[in-house]
Copies of this chain bind each other. A is one copy, B any other.
Amino acid sequence: MKIYVNFELPEEARRLLEGFEVVGPGGDLSEVEAALVTRLTPEELAKMPRLRFIQVALAGLDHLPWEHIPPNVVVAGNAGSNADAVAEFALGMLLAAYKKIVQYNERMKRGEYDRVYAVPMLRGRKVAVLGLGEIGTRVAKILAALGAEVWGFSRSRREGPWRFTTSLEEALRGASAAVCALPLNKHTRGLIRYEHLALMAEDAVFVNVGRAEVVDREGALRILKERPRFVFASDVWWGRNNFAKDAEFFALPNVVATPWVAGGYGSEEVWREMAVEAVKNLLAWARGETPKNIAKRSDYV
């Protein structure tokens, strides 16, 4: 079987593919049956008429050219492969903002030593976890261990140390904090609007480690301007890698911003694990087993 791989695989992942004929960009793709990719263009797709399976090495699938993928091609993602990395980051963002660590540090660096913020308890407070996938469940479990009253929001019921709801309003009403780890698809695009954020506590912290587009940009901007004590802490931005497009957010004092690095940016360890997971899933498909993380085409098209 010919497999198309369009990025450089770490050694450990490459070894798992021994015995298969691996074709890279520039090779003859006419006989390729499976593709292992990070991104994929319509042009690449057009060269693979016999393609039956796409394994994406990244967690998100929203960037694929879905309109160009034939309906009979199975697409699998890699959710969970860097979930530990993202969960650690999400907790760090939440606590850094909620406990006023970022805010006080900024002041100390300017020589402003007076204690202008109270430092609230997270224990006992309502915290919403939006999305109960691999990342959300990890975050929710640690928040529960810290004694927070965790509300888990998801389309389908998941059991865990949280109160489950399918209502975004119920999850966010009165919450002191929220962590958004929803995937981006046609159901979640623009899902979280001003009126949802406005349900949260006056001084709530909203953390996003999923995709920026899940949150309505203008709604976020409005709540931040209306409520100076509301904090928006996000690793993901609407301009994607063009951060300058969202500079008006970074200029606000109640924004904590990082440049899309939560998934273990620059960590060889994380990237190796992601690549190995992706190859293993592709091998499961090749053996005729059902791979993990099969995308629902109807979520995207």
Interface residues of A (CB under 8 A from B): 84-85, 88-89, 91-93, 95-96, 98-102, 104-109, 111, 113-115, 117-124, 141-142, 145-147, 243-244, 247, 250-251, 256-259, 261-262, 264-267, 269-270
- Residues of chain B with a CB closer than 8 A to A251's CB: 109
Contact partner of A104 (CB less than 8 A), chosen from B91, B105, B142, B259, is: B259
Q: Given A108-B250, A146-B142, is A259 in contact with B92 using a C-beta cutoff of 8 Å?
A: no
Q: How far is the CA of A106 from the CA of B270 in the complex (A)?
A: 24
CB-CB < 8 A to A261: which residues of B?
100, 104, 115, 117, 119
Q: Which residue of B lies closest to A99 (CB)?
A: B92
Quote the shortest CB–CB distance from A203 to chain B (angstroms).
12
CB distance from A106 to the nearest CB of B (A): 8
Determine if A119 and B257 form an interchain contact, defined as CB atoms under 8 angstroms apart. Answer: no
- CB neighbours of A117 from chain B (8 A): 261, 265-266
With A96-B92, A111-B250, A113-B243 already in contact, the answer to whether A256 and B101 are too (CB < 8 A) is yes
A-B contact pairs, 7 of them (CB 8 A): A92-B101, A105-B256, A107-B259, A115-B261, A115-B265, A117-B265, A121-B270
Would A120 and B267 count as touching, CB distance under 8 A? Answer: yes
Q: A108-B250, A261-B104, A265-B118 are in contact. Are A89 and B93 (CB under 8 A)?
A: no
Q: Please, which residues of chain B bring their CB within 8 A of the CB of A92?
A: 92, 95-96, 98-99, 101
Does B121 lie within 8 Å of A257, measured CB to CB?
no
In the complex the two chains form, is B96's CB within 8 Å of A259's CB? no
Q: How far is the CB of A149 from chain B (nearest CB, A)?
A: 14
Task: Please pick, from B85, B107, B256, the residue contacting A119 in the complex, using a CB distance under 8 A.
Answer: B85
Is there an interface contact between A115 and B259, defined as CB atoms closer than 8 Å?
A: yes
B259 pairs with A111, CB closer than 8 A: no
- Report the minimal beta-carbon distance from A296 to chain B, rounded to whole angstroms: 30
A121 touches B84 (CB 8 A): yes
Contact A108 B146, beta carbon cutoff 8 Å: no
**Chain B residues whose C-beta falls within 8 Å of the C-beta of A102 in the assembled complex:** 96, 101-102, 105
Q: Are B104 and A258 in contact (CB under 8 A)?
A: yes
In contact, B96 and A244 (Cβ under 8 angstroms): no
Query: Is the Cβ of B142 less than 8 Å from the Cβ of A257?
Result: no
| Among candidates B91, B107, B124, residue contacting A95 with C-beta atoms closer than 8 Å | B91
By the criterion CB–CB under 8 Å, are B147 and A145 in contact?
Answer: no
